[in-house]
Amino acid sequence: MKDLSNYRKSYEKNELLETSIPEDPINLFNKWFYETEEFGGVEEVNAMTVATIGLDGFPKSRVVLLKKFNEEGFIFYTNYNSEKGKAISNNPHVCLSFFWHSMERQVIIKGIAEKTTETISDNYFDSRPDGSKLGAIVSPQSEVIPSREFLDEKLKQLEKDFQDKEITRPSNWGGFLVRPTEVEFWQGRANRLHDRIRYQLQNDFSWKIDRLSP
């Protein structure tokens, strides 16, 4: 067994103070997102972990790509018949998390997921490369398959079937919009006394802001 007790790092790059934050967490997320992108050191700034409660009662997390965010929330795309799609349909309470190590920052978002409109899903699907479109059609996501060759052969056949034809979005593939109810911003600080600022959505749609102890 490898002992990791000596893996330590001192976080000293930034601070997060109540005197310098906006009233709305989306504005702070936007600021952090583009600061991280500009600073560099994170290959995919939009990579996030999505945690759901599965049909078996267990939580499960996986990394997906954030494709849009605005004042409504955060959008990602998936196969609705996948394990995560079924989990969200059964229990729409999800958690999104970002870890931007180059900036020593985390963002943790609790929210309620809902399917995006068909127009939003169609528009994004149409923007994808043909290979990605066909991949979405080929893959029975999360299902047991006999081999890699099974997928490769299905893809080859679809490439023939759709040659010189428009590739349209399958009805079981589309977006989820996560409307946040709580957003926590975590900024690493020295001596493990990290800054944690939590926004909680109120009944009047304002945000309650608290500092949490690290």
For the annotated catalytic residues, the residue numbers are 192
Assigned token pair, 198: 């939590």
In degrees, rounded to 5, the angle at the alpha carbon of residue 72 between the alpha carbons of residues 68 and 75 is: 30
Q: CA 193 to CA 89: how far, in whole Å?
A: 38
In 3D, which of 58, 53, 54, 173 has the Cα closest to residue 110?
53
Query: Could you tell me which of 176, 164, 195, 142 has the C-alpha nearest to residue 14?
Result: 195
Closest by alpha carbon to 80, among 110, 121, 120? Answer: 121
